[in-house]
Amino acid sequence: MDKTQNSAWGGRFQEATDAAVEAMNASVAFDKALALEDIAGSLAHARMLRARDIINGDEHQAIEGGLQEIAAEVRSGSFEFTVAREDVHMNIEGALAERIGPSAGKLHSGRSRNDQVALDLRLWLRRELSALGGELGAVVSTLTQEAEQYASVPMPGYTHLQRAQPITFGHHLMAYASMFLRDMDRIIDARKRASVMPLGSGALAGTPLPIDRHRVAAELEMPTLTLNSLDAVSDRDPALETLSALSIVMVHVSRLAEEIVLWTSQEFGFVSLSDSFCTGSSLMPQKKNPDIPELLRGKAGRVFGSLQALLVVMKGLPLAYNKDMQEDKEPLFDALHTVRQCIGILPALLEAMTPKTQNMADALGDGFLLATDLADHLVSQGVPFREAHHVIGSAVALCLDRKCRLEDLSLSDLRTLHPAFGDNALEVLDASASLAQRDVPGGPAPKRVLEAIAISRAQLDELQKKVLAGGPSGIEKALHEGQELPK
Ligand code: ARG
């Protein structure tokens, strides 16, 4: 087998690393995604080392300058990552040494790759979750716009996928706005717990060097420090919590997608989707398929799989760091990429949907959707609900027998079933009237839907402010955007 000599731990080793071992051990192929976060952490750490006189001014200048050059190469894509240097941390440190010589070796004073990767991951999460928070906000905003437009367009609501009671298309859309608002809140919450600074925990037991953890946290705009060095280097809760929150996002995305697939079917015919969002069949000329909603539904699977993968990786690990934890990254990166892709396409998909309001209204006409309203009418006449339910059940049976609808019965038909039917009993058999009466907070009465839209928009405003407030530090922004570093 091929062997290579590793310089990071070469002192203790007499034999070189087996090439297959090197290939399996290396994570650079995927953790290079953390490169700019790694550099941000190193810049903050180096500033602290300088402030504590652990490195001198020249060394600090060389380190800061070298890291900035490397960041520019990472941004432009010209930085060459090599498997021989195993991971992103050693690739960057190695490149720094090539540029500035031995003082590069001082950067790792008081630091281990274990607390370094813990920091990088948290910075990366803070950045990604901030972006996702904003993208979820755009979905909520589109949903409220569409819901406002269709706040009084009646459609059947379902339980057990059987027509149940009238609602409006706007009310149905706002159900998803509620879900995505909760998702935004969960994402912001996960980000808050990720924004805790672990550097200074060392490999597992801190460091005897006179470092200043608060200084590093302040540079990186992280409000708090981790409290236990063992936990700090082996805690993957921020990744687990993110994957849990992402899985719930995908439950919502997938349910919405499933409904769009149903609604665009000929069987439902409630919605048409613009051609730009569909594909045809290479065989059946008449087909127009809702591929994008189907993919949104399908992509939920890989996100749930990522959560499962990391739960299993973590469940049996003794404290503190174990190399198993390197397996956290690919599922996490894939899940965030997948969810951001799905959330990113939703606003345009929602705008590409047009409700077929006549089909929705026709579907309301069959199926006794107003039977409960008739029962509620009897309740308003003083009849106990259980008895009213039974009476209306008989009315439905009578209709089935006569092959007619409830509104085709006469008042005297109804009164032979129960004497308490009022003169206005048949007036309740009108979908719009029924909707207007469902005038409870959170109910489908159009004015309540408009009220819910206003409240949701206010909540969205609050959440958007929070998304903006807890994002990446000035150092990270400068590195990502190629601006000058804050002093
Ligand atoms: N690539 C490693 C990871 O992602 C970094 C930490 C390595 N630490 C170590 N002691 N080998 O987990």
Taken in order 81, 84, 90, 92, the sign of the CA dihedral is negative
Return d(Cα 426, Cα 244) in angstroms, integer.
Answer: 50
Angle, to 10 degrees, between the axis of helix 57-76 and the axis of helix 474-481? Answer: 50
**pLDDT per residue over 80-117, tens digit each?**
999 999 999 999 999 999 999 999 999 999 999 999 99
Return d(Cα 126, Cα 77) in angstroms, integer.
Answer: 23
Return d(Cα 208, Cα 417) in angstroms, integer.
Answer: 88
Q: Which residues line ligand 1 (CB under 6 A)?
A: 27, 31, 87, 113-114, 117, 321, 323, 325-326
**pLDDT per residue over 446-477, tens digit each?**
999 999 999 999 999 999 999 999 999 999 99
Kindly give the distance from the C-alpha atom of residue 228 to the centroid of ligand 1, in angstroms, as a whole number.
Answer: 19
pLDDT (0 to 100) of residue 3 = 59
Question: Considering the entire predicted model, what is its pTM?
Answer: 0.94
Give kind and range of the element (H or E) at residue 330.
helix 329-351
**Dihedral (C-alpha) 151, 154, 159, 160: value to the nearest 10 degrees?**
-120
Ligand 1 atom at minimum distance from 321 CA: 10
How is residue 428 annotated by DSSP? Answer: G
**CB of 476 within 8 A of CB of 36?**
yes
How is residue 384 annotated by DSSP? Answer: -
More confident call, 3 vs 486? 486
**Is 160 among the residues known to form the active site?**
yes
Query: Above 50 in pLDDT, residue 1?
Result: no
Phi, psi (rounded to 5 degrees) for 353: -95, 130
Burial 328-339 (b: 16+ CB within 10 A, else e): bbbbbbbbbebb
Confidence of residue 281 (pLDDT cuts 50, 70, 90): confident
How is residue 317 annotated by DSSP? Answer: P
Ligand 1 atom at minimum distance from 329 CA: 4
**CB of 174 within 8 A of CB of 379?**
no
Q: What is the overall mean pLDDT for the chain?
A: 95
Tell which one of 81, 114, 115 to mutate to probe ligand 1, the residue whose CB is within 8 A of the most ligand atoms. 114
Catalytic residue among 160, 282, 410, 412: 160
Of 11, 40, 59, 89, nearest in space to 329 by CA = 89
Reading the block at residue 327, the tokens are 């397996």
DSSP string across 225-294 = E-S-HHHHHH--HHHHHHHHHHHHHHHHHHHHHHHHHHHHSTTT--EEE-GGG-B--SS-TT--B-HHHH
Q: Which residues neighbour 162 within 8 Å (Cβ) at sequence distance 6 or greater?
A: 367
Percentage of the chain exceeding pLDDT 70 = 99
**pLDDT per residue over 10-44, tens digit each?**
778 888 888 999 999 999 999 999 999 999 999 99
Confidence of residue 2 (pLDDT cuts 50, 70, 90): low
pLDDT (0 to 100) of residue 4 = 59
Return d(Cα 168, Cα 361) in angstroms, integer.
Answer: 10
**pLDDT per residue over 345-374, tens digit each?**
999 999 999 999 999 999 998 779 999 999
**Is 281 among the residues known to form the active site?**
yes
How is residue 12 annotated by DSSP? Answer: T
Q: Three-state DSSP class for 159?
A: strand
Nearest CA to ligand 1 atom 12: 326
Q: Within a 13 Å sphere around the CA of 283, how many CA atoms are in the beta-carbon half?
A: 0
Catalytic residue among 7, 265, 274, 281: 281
Reading the block at residue 220, the tokens are 């990186």
How is residue 353 annotated by DSSP? Answer: E
